Chains A and B, each alone.
Chain A
């Protein structure tokens, strides 16, 4: 069965079996594939995390030799960032953006297929790099030279994978921008778009801005490694610190790429379950935009210990602290949305509240890290690990879980098992904090990150952290079970399963038909 379908023609026929997925140009199919790919990568990255925590369970070297441990931390970071979190958000955008703006599909349907199918290739490259001579890249997910110039073939595979992932992200982002700007239903002005669509629009611009920078950096690294250039090599007149500047010029907007869509998701869920419109819609839009702009001028706060001039340190400190203002506005707006609402606490709402609660803790440690003297003390310690897991796990990941529970009834027309889903939330919440809250103290007490072994004073907190991490890891297998159970035979879901859901996707039947909004809805 290898009939290539004319997408403009026979709408109700599409190839079945594997070719349906290989050749599909349907935004729903592609969205689904993105989400499953992301979950698969999440399990791989999670496996690496379990390895790391198992080694750190006790002082001494038990399971992973130091070099392999470094590969584990490196690949854990890369796979979670590029393989799990980003594709999950792109998957959500694929599913939801057309549904929420009343468009029939994404603007560039074939490119959409291509940008997805690049991902498994990159994923394979990353995973298989463990098995080549010299092992996988071991220079940290930030692969600073000169260390990253030392590695073997695994580093080149990583560079190639990053190139492919970057290309995929750029295509995905262009697709999303074009779809949002050109394919909104009549009457849906920009300022009437749902927040999730807004945050993705801004995120997509950030992606188009910074992914080429990342591609440039890794290319320079590649030519330094193999073609005799000296961009990052002092011996040839280059400077290793230059790499850090370029990398973080990509890297800091990147962390907002991973959190802005999460803001959007939470801004959808909170009003729905508060049965009240989002408070301060326009200030939310402006806050998102200003976070995106500020994110481009704060990169060097990752480099306070490289020995920048005083003026540089102060500028990046002030700019970084400034980000707390629009972020604070968002938290206040969510609180005000809940205030005097008529709230219920379904699983998506639990994840959204959990998100706010823990993201604020991550935000606080972010402000603390912005203050140069304190940052110099905690830079490259477990404090920073705790900080970014609070914003990326309990931030981005919790929002993704919330989104999945929120839209699953629409996607597969069935309701998940509420009891189990709530249990998934509470277990995640508890184990997450057990795993990561103590890491703040490990960092303050002086435990550097990326070490396979540590001195005895850190032993008890590391053990607690490992236990929490194992619990958190197991809980996510439980999530897989809940989703499969829901797809296999959940209770039939209503078209509008949430009383307060007012966006366009809830006007469609559940499950959403293969083709939707062929005639655009009209927004008053």
Chain B
């Protein structure tokens, strides 16, 4: 008696346009250069992750269209207002087996490439350079442990002025994503990142490299990346670490090998007297 309030047309139009809106917004975001999607992948792992995500999206879209195609057809046609009489079937073992098996196969297809990537992500062996990233409340400390640049050690703090945060000054281009000392690495070299923390959990994330690793006080964890192209890549701490969790970005600057050598020389000269960061307690 109340059911006919919503006309079939309006239900269909609204739901249909909602679907379209959802997926068309996804479509414009699939453009690789869009700021609303993954940052452009800059390492093998990031590229594989990106490809798997696109594959997963297409699979989801296909399932979505099939399932909701059937459902909306049914909503449109099988309604009381059009005088449709209800059938009375309530199970079919064959159909149920089929729609249990098909998703299973699809999942296997999705899990296969993912497994390969997971194994690759874990392979931190034989790095060219090892860098330790230590999370502090609220900044990052970096120590170059091994490889070219061994012994370099510095802190990396947010360099955005407080006035920009408070809104008394116009916000700069890299608002909240800029630091005083960038982590510098050479292009094309395998960089192993060891993470640990001084006080609470933090997490080291650079989206363009597909690298995210929690930093745990008292323990070390590791991950790795090899940057494809010189440039500046930005990330943030992604594990809630207290008041200024939103204010401890990560900036990785990737340089050509010779420029990197130059940077190492400069850094060594400048910081001949720098104390090991390991000594800095809180």
Contacts and interface: CB of A to CB of B under 8 A. Distances in A.
A426 B167 CA distance: 37
A360 B15 CA distance: 14
A32 interface: no
B91 interface: yes
Contact of A452 (B37, B117, B174, B246): B246
Interface residues of A, number: 106
Interface stretch (B140-148, B179-187, B198-206, B254-262): B198-206
A45 to B, nearest CB: 19
B264 interface: no
Contact of A150 (B4, B45, B86, B200): B200
Contacts of B35: 445, 457
Given A454-B176, A461-B36, A279 B100 contact: no
A374 B235 contact: no
Nearest to B102: A328
A453 B246 contact: yes
B156 interface: no
Query: Taking chain A's interface residues, is the majority helix, strand, or loop, or is none over half, making it mixed?
Result: helix
Contacts of B164: 60
Contact of A422 (B5, B115, B121, B246): B5
B90 A356 contact: no
A454 B85 CA distance: 55
B131 interface: no
A272 to B, nearest CB: 11
B122 interface: yes
A450 B214 contact: no
Given A317-B111, A445-B38, A307 B217 contact: no
A361 B213 CA distance: 27
Contacts of A455: 174-177
Nearest to B71: A335
A331 B70 CA distance: 12
A505 B78 CA distance: 27
B149 interface: no
Most chain B CB within 10 A, of A150, A279, A422, A446, is at: A446
B269 interface: no
A298 to B, nearest CB: 14
B90 A241 contact: no
A324 B107 contact: yes
B169 to A, nearest CB: 10
A361 B35 CA distance: 22
B200 A146 contact: yes
Contacts, number: 308
B11 interface: yes
Interface stretch (A1-9, A106-114, A218-226, A343-351): A343-351
A276 B88 contact: yes
Contacts of B235: 446
B229 interface: no
A66 B246 contact: yes
B86 A341 contact: yes
B37 to A, nearest CB: 5
Given A367-B56, A371-B52, A445-B39, A345 B6 contact: yes
A235 B218 contact: yes
A313 B119 CA distance: 10
B20 interface: no
Interface string A94-129: 000000000000000000000000000000000000
A305 B239 CA distance: 10
Nearest to B117: A373
Contact of A454 (B200, B214, B246): B246
A343 B73 CA distance: 12
Given A374-B56, A380-B238, A433-B22, A67 B176 contact: no
A344 B4 contact: yes
B240 A450 contact: yes
Interface in A293-337: 305-307, 310, 313-314, 317-318, 321-322, 324-325, 328-329, 331-333, 335-336
A475 to B, nearest CB: 16
Given A345-B6, A441-B37, A453-B176, A61 B165 contact: yes
Contact of B85 (A342, A361, A379, A452): A342
Interface string B5-47: 1100001001100100010010001000001111100000110
B193 to A, nearest CB: 11
Contacts of A364: 60, 63-64
Given A321-B110, A324-B103, A62 B91 contact: no
Lowest 4 A-B CB distances belong to which pairs? A234-B218, A344-B3, A451-B246, A307-B221
Interface of B: 2-6, 11, 14-15, 18, 22, 25, 29, 35-39, 45-46, 48-49, 52-53, 56-57, 60, 63-64, 67-68, 70-71, 74-75, 78-81, 84-92, 95-96, 99-100, 103-104, 107, 110-111, 114-115, 117-119, 121-122, 164-167, 171, 173-177, 199-201, 203, 205, 207, 210-214, 216-219, 221-223, 235-247
Given A371-B110, A381-B238, 9 more contacts: A144-B201, A273-B3, A282-B91, A283-B91, A343-B74, A343-B79, A345-B11, A376-B212, A377-B207
